């Protein structure tokens, strides 16, 4: 079977890189974040890997385990992130280029914070209670 | 039933049957006419006469040098149209497919882009011919409804075909339905109007060449 | 009474963080072709979402739609949402005793009157009072009309529910129809496909739960996000179509090279669905990628559009027998016309065609009947030319140039320009 994944369209990759440049400009000027949904574009697998190669790898790689594994890494361009979300069965559910200082999903959600504090308070209360008992 | 279902189904069947009936009607109507009896001796053998008929079919396509200044343009346009039209029919992949479905024959197709370019040239030639027919005083005088209708029924398939290959003007399904319907319209018209020259030209030129050869005249 | 539970609290209880909900929302916006920036809003709305009821009824179906949509071994947010928003599937209802299940269903409908979504899979038989598909003795038709009356909207899952599907194929012995043929006063969303792509249902339900309304629909009531393009437009083999590289049979070199399947009957160009991009079995494959042309399963009447293996360029052929009959009719007509022409009175014909020798009639003596082809080439041109004109006036000076039958080559002027002569 012909490897159609080898069919790459340089023009499209160039155009996307230009769009990312524009997005980065707006992030710098106005602090605006933006996202490109790569699965919404007619990209062949070769185009996508081409794009990933040209964006490269930066300093940060994040592995996120929330309802399945996700992998987020900063590209060689700071502020430009390559995000790959998979579900519990390992199937790809989203592929994004995010332009932000930090992708939204990496930030802890306020309600999760509150939840964690509750649990932490409960745990420390228990611990200090134990401590008090054995003191 | 959608328009496309009709076009590919009952429409196609009926159009083909009408065309077959009409072609045989015209052919029988011509070939069963009384022929003038020849009382002189034939100047060439039977083979020579048949060869003469075959030769004239082609030689008549090239006008005499005398007439080129007057008819050169229309001959050029007509050639572009006819060559283009048959290149589309016999070189376009979907058309070869239909022929294969009907007869089992098949051959390599022309690249799609090339067929599109040829279609454009064919359309241009047709429009130019129509303009000539309307504005040239003699042509206008000679033209009848038959001529204009025949032009239209050939123009529509070529136009709808090129639009279908582009797939942008309307949805694929609509364009395909319109294209097939326009071809069916042409098929139904074929035996009954000027389009019939497509088959009769071979008969008339062939017969003429046969008789000329019989008389020893040049073909 | 307790504050109605939200989806957010259900997820939290099950150990799903807000982060996972956001991730789910990102996936959904991608699936629904919404801008990715809307994901946080969707996540927030989902977290706040109260239980919505979805009543699922299965009619004249093969259960393929349910199998596709609900067979999920691992608990994903998808399935949680189904569980959360679904009042009940009819299967689980039927797990209880017959009448008890019926009562539960009625109570649920009464409690959520006007607010629940009615999901239907399978077609509805209408012939003979709909006796061909009964549940607990009640016809599908009756059940549909009863439950649709108080529903907020109806989701027709699968081609059978949407358009009639397989049961409706000719000759349609049960009188099967789709939901939209029977329910005319409620919003309907068709999610066709045989079976439909699972993500489409998730997307529609999530959209409904997040934003309180159904997604935008096309003219066949299908969600535009999933049915807005044809398979042809999304197909990875499209470059081959454009280049004119077609597989001619299922095992030829072209097929092995993965060329376009148009000539093998692919209905991709006229079929709207998302399977070319979303695929089946979690993105594993779809028919064309597996080497078989699209059969158009998300379009109405796809079973009655001729062979799956006849290309869109081809159609139904009339058959040699019919062609023969047409030819015979043509010959008969043409022969009749020709014979009528042949039998026209000879005098009438002779009058129109003076050149033609008259056949032998009763009076053969008149001078005007002399045949026009004198074999005596030596005769003076004057005499020869005299033979042809109709009138008895034989003045050769006038008559000479007219007819080329004069074998005397001296009257070069008289003869019309021979084709071989140059001016």
Q: For position C14, what pLDDT does the model report?
A: 79
Q: Which domain holds residue A126?
A: 106-135
C75 shares a domain with C169: yes
Q: Which range is least confidently modeled, C33-37, C342-346, C358-362? A: C358-362
Q: Does C141 reside within a domain?
A: yes
Nearest of C203, C202, C148, C204 to residue C179 by alpha carbon? C148
Q: Does C124 reside within a domain?
A: yes
How far A134 CA sits from the closest chain C CA (Å)?
33
| Section B23-36 average pLDDT | 89
Q: For position A89, what pLDDT does the model report?
A: 80
The CATH number of the domain where A58 resides is what?
3.30.1370.140
Asked whether residue B68 carries a pLDDT value surpassing 70, the answer given is: yes
The CA–CA distances, whole Å, from B7 to B10, B166, B175 equal: 7, 20, 11
Asked whether residue C154 carries a pLDDT value surpassing 80, the answer given is: yes
A73 shares a domain with A111: no
C119 shares a domain with C204: yes
**Helix (H), strand (E), coil (C) string for C193-241:** CCCCCHHHHHHHHHHHHHHCCCCCECCCCCEHHHHCCEHHHHCCCHHHH
A116 shares a domain with A96: no
From the options 2.40.30.170, 1.20.1250.20, 1.20.950.20, 1.10.287.110, give the CATH code of B3-23+70-215. Answer: 1.20.950.20
Greater model confidence, B159 or A7: B159
Q: For position C357, what pLDDT does the model report?
A: 62
Q: Does C94 reside within a domain?
A: yes
C238-267 confidence digits (pLDDT tens): 888 888 889 989 999 999 988 999 999 999
Q: Which chains touch B (3 or more CB pairs under 8 A)?
A: C
Q: Which of C273, C313, C328, C338 is the mutation pick for testing B, counting most B CBs within 10 A? A: C313
Chain B CB contacts of C373 below 8 Å: 39-40
C307-325 confidence digits (pLDDT tens): 899 888 877 777 788 889 9
Read off the pTM: 0.74
C197 shares a domain with C90: yes
Asked whether residue A5 carries a pLDDT value surpassing 60, the answer given is: no
Q: Which residues contact B184 (CB under 8 A, 6 or more apart)?
A: B7, B11, B12, B14, B15
A47 shares a domain with A23: yes
The number of helices, as runs of H, and strands, as runs of E, in chain B is 10, 0
Q: For position B178, what pLDDT does the model report?
A: 95
Cα(C139)–Cα(C124) distance, rounded to whole angstroms? Answer: 9
Q: Does C179 reside within a domain?
A: yes
C70-114 confidence digits (pLDDT tens): 654 445 666 666 666 665 545 544 555 567 777 777 777 787 788
A118 shares a domain with A73: no
How far C421 CA sits from the closest chain B CA (Å)?
11
Six token digits for residue C116: 């629940």
Q: Does C419 reside within a domain?
A: no
CB contact under 8 A, A39 and C256: no
Question: What does the mean pLDDT of chain C come to?
Answer: 78
Nearest CA in chain B to C317: B13
A88 shares a domain with A35: yes
Q: Which domain holds residue C278?
A: 232-304
Cα(B200)–Cα(B202) distance, rounded to whole angstroms? Answer: 5
C218-234 confidence digits (pLDDT tens): 999 999 999 999 999 88
Nearest CA in chain B to C271: B173
Cβ A71 vs Cβ A98: under 8 Å: no
Number of structural domains, chain C?
2
A34 shares a domain with A19: yes
| Section A120-130 average pLDDT | 68
Question: What does the mean pLDDT of chain A come to?
Answer: 84
C371-415 confidence digits (pLDDT tens): 444 444 444 444 434 434 444 444 444 434 434 344 344 444 444
Task: Give the whole-number percent of chain B exceeding pLDDT 90.
Answer: 68
CB contact under 8 A, C74 and A44: no
Do A and B touch, counting CB pairs below 8 Å (3 needed)?
A: no
C215 shares a domain with C108: yes
The complex scores an ipTM of: 0.82
B94 in contact with C at a CB cutoff of 8 Å? yes
Q: Which chains touch A (3 or more CB pairs under 8 A)?
A: C
Q: For position A8, what pLDDT does the model report?
A: 57
- Which of B5, B8, B17 lies nearest to residue C326, judging by beta carbons? B17
Q: Taking the domains of chain B in order of start, what are their residue ranges?
A: 3-23+70-215
Chain B CB contacts of C356 below 8 Å: 36
Asked whether residue C364 carries a pLDDT value surpassing 80, the answer given is: no
Cα(C27)–Cα(A67) distance, rounded to whole angstroms? Answer: 12
| Section C351-367 average pLDDT | 55
Q: Which chains touch C (3 or more CB pairs under 8 A)?
A: A, B
Q: For position C415, what pLDDT does the model report?
A: 41
A112 shares a domain with A48: no
The CATH number of the domain where C205 resides is what?
3.40.50.700
Residue keyed to tokens 């935008």: C216
CB contact under 8 A, C313 and B29: no
- Which of A4, A96, A115 lies nearest to residue C236, judging by beta carbons? A4
Q: For position C347, what pLDDT does the model report?
A: 54
| Section A76-105 average pLDDT | 91
Q: For position C405, what pLDDT does the model report?
A: 41
Number of structural domains, chain A?
2
How far B44 CA sits from the closest chain C CA (Å)?
18
């Amino acid at each position: 079977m012909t490897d159609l994944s080898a069919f790459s369209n340089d023009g499209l990759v160039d155009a996307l890189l230009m769009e990312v440049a524009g997005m980065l400009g707006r992030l710098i000027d106005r602090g605006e974040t933006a996202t490109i949904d790569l699965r919404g574009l007619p990209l062949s697998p070769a185009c996508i890997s081409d794009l990933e190669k040209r964006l490269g790898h930066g300093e940060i790689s994040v592995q996120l385990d929330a309802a399945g594994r996700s992998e987020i890494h900063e590209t060689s361009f700071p502020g430009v992130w390559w995000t790959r979300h998979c579900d519990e069965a390992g199937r790809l559910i989203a592929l994004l280029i995010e332009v932000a200082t930090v992708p939204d999903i990496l930030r802890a959600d306020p309600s999760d914070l509150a939840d964690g504090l509750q649990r932490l308070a409960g745990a420390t209360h228990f611990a200090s209670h134990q401590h008090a008992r054995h003191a | 039933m959608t328009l496309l279902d009709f076009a590919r189904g009952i429409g196609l069947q009926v159009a083909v049957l009408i065309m077959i009936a009409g072609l045989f009607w015209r052919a029988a109507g011509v070939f069963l006419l009384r022929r003038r009896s020849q009382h002189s001796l034939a100047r060439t053998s039977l083979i020579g006469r048949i060869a003469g008929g075959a030769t004239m079919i082609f030689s008549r396509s090239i006008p005499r040098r005398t007439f080129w200044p007057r008819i050169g343009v229309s001959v050029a346009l007509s050639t572009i149209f006819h060559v283009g039209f048959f290149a589309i029919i016999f070189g376009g992949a979907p058309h070869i497919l239909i022929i294969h479905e009907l007869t089992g024959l098949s051959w390599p197709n022309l690249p799609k882009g090339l067929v599109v370019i040829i279609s454009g040239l064919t359309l241009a030639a047709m429009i130019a011919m129509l303009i000539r027919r309307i504005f040239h005083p003699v042509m206008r005088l000679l033209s009848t409804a038959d001529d204009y209708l025949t032009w239209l029924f050939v123009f529509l398939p070529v136009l709808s075909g090129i639009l279908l290959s582009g797939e942008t003007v309307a949805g694929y399904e609509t364009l395909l339905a319109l294209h097939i319907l326009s071809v069916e319209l042409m098929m139904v018209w074929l035996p009954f109007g000027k389009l019939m020259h497509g088959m009769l030209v071979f008969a008339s030129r062939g017969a003429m060449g046969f008789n000329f050869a019989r008389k020893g005249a040049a073909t | 009474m307790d504050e109605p539970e939200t989806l957010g609290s259900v997820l939290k209880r099950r150990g799903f963080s807000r982060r996972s909900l956001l991730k789910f929302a990102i996936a959904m916006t991608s699936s629904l072709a919404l801008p990715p920036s809307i994901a946080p809003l969707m996540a927030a709305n989902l977290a706040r979402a109260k239980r919505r009821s979805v009543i699922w009824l299965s009619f004249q179906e093969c259960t393929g739609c349910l199998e596709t949509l609900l067979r999920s071994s691992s608990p994903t947010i998808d399935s949680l949402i189904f569980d959360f928003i679904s009042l009940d599937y009819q299967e689980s209802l039927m797990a209880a005793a017959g009448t008890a299940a019926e009562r539960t269903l009625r109570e649920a409908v009464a409690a959520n009157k006007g607010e629940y979504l009615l999901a239907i899979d399978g077609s509805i038989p209408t012939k003979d009072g709909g006796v061909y598909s009964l549940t607990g003795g009640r016809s599908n038709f009756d059940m549909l009309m009863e439950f649709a009356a108080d529903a907020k909207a109806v989701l027709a899952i699968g081609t059978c529910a949407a358009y009639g599907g397989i049961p409706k194929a000719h000759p349609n012995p049960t009188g099967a129809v789709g939901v939209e043929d029977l329910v005319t006063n409620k919003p309907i969303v068709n999610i066709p496909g045989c079976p439909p792509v699972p993500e489409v249902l998730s997307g529609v339900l999530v959209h409904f739960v997040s934003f309180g309304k159904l997604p935008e629909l096309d003219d066949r009531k299908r969600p535009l996000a999933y049915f807005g393009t044809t398979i042809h437009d999304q197909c990875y083999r499209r470059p081959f179509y454009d280049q004119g590289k077609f597989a001619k049979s299922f095992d030829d070199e072209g097929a092995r090279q993965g060329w376009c399947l148009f000539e093998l009957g692919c209905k991709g160009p006229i079929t709207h669905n998302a399977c070319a991009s979303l695929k089946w079995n979690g993105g594993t494959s779809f028919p064309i990628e597996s080497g078989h042309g699209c059969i158009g399963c998300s379009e109405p009447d796809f079973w009655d559009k001729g062979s799956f293996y006849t290309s869109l360029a081809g159609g139904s052929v009339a058959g040699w027998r019919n062609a023969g009959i047409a030819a015979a009719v043509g010959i008969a007509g043409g022969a009749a016309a020709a014979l009528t022409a042949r039998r026209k009175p000879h005098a009438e014909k002779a009058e129109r065609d003076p050149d033609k020798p008259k056949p032998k009639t009763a009076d053969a003596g008149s001078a005007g009947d002399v045949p026009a082809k004198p074999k005596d080439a030596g005769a003076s041109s004057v005499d020869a030319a005299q033979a042809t004109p109709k009138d008895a006036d034989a003045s050769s000076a006038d008559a000479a140039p007219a007819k080329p039958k004069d074998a005397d080559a001296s009257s070069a002027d008289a003869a019309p320009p021979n084709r071989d002569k140059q001016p």
